[in-house]
Amino acid sequence: MYSPRFHRIAETDRPKIVLTVDGRPVDAADGDTLLTVLMRHDGWVRDSEFDGQRRAGFCAMGACQDCWLTLADGQRLRACTTVARTGMAIVRKPATHD
Ligand code: FES
């Protein structure tokens, strides 16, 4: 079972938005990156294509390429450099590590 890695301790009054992660609604603050959304949600971004281990990003600044995600419409995005928007639907591989 994975758990949140980030916890909001400031800016708690920012407007809320809702997107989905693997079909489940997830709330976020307007302006959060997708990396922040996932780290606050369940603490992982994707499964590694090499060994299947869960990844959580590394650099958080667009350099390492460890945070690529796929949206339901097939669009691929870096989680750390993409601002979350209402209605986005993140689709990760089916969970096999829980
Ligand atoms: S965490 Fe390194 S590119 Fe996104």
State yes or no: pLDDT of 37 exceeds 70: yes
What separation in Å is there between the alpha carbon of 37 and the centre of ligand 1?
14
Query: pLDDT tier at 14 (50, 70, 90 boundaries)?
Result: very high
Is the CB of 60 within 6 Å of ligand 1? Answer: yes
- Taking the model in full, what pTM does it have? 0.91
pLDDT at 41: 95
The rounded mean pLDDT for the chain is 93
pLDDT at 97: 54
CB atoms inside a 10 Å sphere around CB 79? 25
Whether CATH 3.10.20.440 fits 16-90? yes
Domain boundaries, the chain: 16-90
Candidate from 46, 78, 83 with most ligand 1 atoms within 8 A of CB, to mutate: 78
